[in-house]
Structure 1
Amino acid sequence: MQKVSLRKVKAPASYLQDNVEEVLHFSLQGLLPAGHTLALNTTIGTLSHLTIKQDRPHMLVEQQFTTSEICVLLPLLEAYPYYCPYEILLASFNMGRVSESAVARSRQRLQEALEAGVWDQEMRPVRNVLSRTRLKTRAFGIEISSILETGYILMFMPNKYRQDPE
C-alpha cells in the first residue's frame, strides 16, 4: 500500500496577504465542458476538476502542484482566455501574487536581459517550472502553449493526447 502525503504547500507570504480565499474556482469556458470547473486549493496546492452528477459534486481529476508551479499556473488561469505575458509569469514566479510595480520591475528586468543577450537565462527557471506544470495540466485536457515573443496561453488538448476524465 502506497503512503499518501498530505503535507501543506507553503505559499509565498505576498500571496497569502492578498488572497483571503483558500480555494479559487475557474470555469474556463471553451476549455472545459459546461458545468465543469477547476478548483485550485492554494493551501495544499491541489488543482481539481469538478462537476455535478446527480445533484452532488464529483471530482474527475486532481493533481498536486508545488509552490513554484502554482506561481506560474495561477496567472495562466487568471488570464484565460487571453495569454499571460512573460513579465507577469516572471513576477509571479519570483514574488507570488503580483502588483503593477512587480510586473513593471519584471518587464524592466526582461528588457535589460534582452539588451544584454541573456533573456533565455533570465526566463530559464520559469520555463523549467512551466515544463513540470504542463505535464500535470495535461491530465485535465489543458495544454500550456508558448506564444513566440509574447507569453503563454492555456489551450484545449485534442482527445488523442489527454486522459479523458469521464
Structure 2
Amino acid sequence: MQKVSLRKVKTPLSYVQDIDEEVMHFSLQGLLAPGHTLALNTTLGTLSHLTSKHDLPYMLMEQQFTTSEICVLLPLLESYPYYCPYEVLLASFTSGRVTETTIERCRLRLQEAQEAGVWDQEMRPVRNVLSRTRIKTRPFGIEISSILETGYILMFAAKRRQAQ
C-alpha cells in the first residue's frame, strides 16, 4: 500500500497564474517616490523596493512573501491606483488564476454567501492572508486598506505606522 501525502506542495506563483514575466515591476505613482519601483519576483516570492544610485540599480529593501500572500498582493498591485474588488481577491486566492470566468464564479459565490449570511466565513481565509501581507507591506510605506462592502486598496502608510 502506497502512502499518500496530504501536505499541500507550495508552487511558485508563476506556474499557478500563467505569468509570462518572472519579475513584475510596479511604479505605484503617488505611493512611491519618483524613480522608485517595486519588483515582484513571482518565482522567489520576493518584493523588492528599487531605485537607482549613480545610474545603477539599488535595492532599498526586500521582503519574502508566501504563495498565498502573493496571490492577494498581486491583484492589489495590478489594480493600483484603483481598488481591488473582493471577487478578484477571492479568485486569485482560491484558484491562482484570475480570469473573467473565475471572477464571475467568485462573485456568485460571494452573493450566495451574502444571502446565506455567511459572507464573513467565506472571506475569512482571504482576510487572514491579507492581514499577514499588510504587516509585510508597511515597511515599504504601503498600507492595505479595506473599503466597506467593496474591496481593498493600496494607500500610503503613515510613518508612525511603518515603525511598528
Name 2:16's counterpart in structure 1.
14
* Structure 1 position 14, deviation (Å): 3.5
Aligned to 2:88: 88
Q: How does 1:117-136 map to 2 (within 5 A)?
A: 117-136=117-136
1:76 maps to 76
Displacement of 1:66 in angstroms is 0.2
SS at match of 1:72: helix
Q: How far is the alpha carbon of 1:48 from its aligned partner?
A: 0.2
Equivalence for 1:100: 100
Displacement of 1:61 in angstroms is 1.1
Give the C-alpha shift of residue 157 in structure 1: 0.9
Between the aligned partners of 1:106 and 1:60, the Cα distance in structure 2 is: 37
Q: Which amino acid aligns with 2:50?
A: L
The separation in 1 between residues aligned to 2:37 and 2:11, in whole angstroms, is 24
> What CA distance in whole angstroms lies between the structure 1 residues aligned with 2:45 and 2:66?
6
Aligned length: 153
* TM-score normalised by L of structure 2: 0.90
Deviates more, 1:89-98 or 1:25-34: 89-98
Deviation (angstroms), 1:96: 1.0
2:2 maps to 1:30: no
Q: What CA distance in whole angstroms lies between the structure 2 residues aligned with 1:20 and 1:84?
A: 22
Q: CA RMSD in A?
A: 1.1
Asked if 1:115 corresponds to 2:115, the answer is: yes
Misfit runs of 4+, over 3 Å: none
Say if 2:156 is the partner of 1:139: no
List runs of 5+ in structure 2 lacking aligned partners: 1-9
If the length of structure 1 is used for normalisation, what is the TM-score?
0.89
Deviation track 1:72-98 (CA, whole Å, cap 9, x = no partner) reads 000000000000000000000001131
Q: Secondary structure at the match of 1:120?
A: helix
Rounded to whole Å, the distance in 2 between the matches of 1:140 and 1:63 is 9
Q: Deviations over 1:113-160 (max 9, x none)?
A: 000000000000000000000000001000000000000000001222
Q: What CA distance in whole angstroms lies between the structure 1 residues aligned with 2:121 and 2:77? A: 25
The separation in 2 between residues aligned to 1:14 and 1:73, in whole angstroms, is 15
Distance in 2 (alpha carbons) for counterparts of 1:74 and 1:29: 16
Aligned partners of 1:97 and 1:25: how far apart in 2?
19
| Partner residue, 2:5 | none
Q: 2 CA distance for matches of 1:116 and 1:58?
A: 51
Structure 1 SS opposite 2:75: helix
Distance (Å, rounded) in 1 between the aligned partners of 2:134 and 2:16? 24
* DSSP-derived class of the 1:25 partner: strand
Q: Give the share of equivalent positions with the same residue, in percent.
A: 75
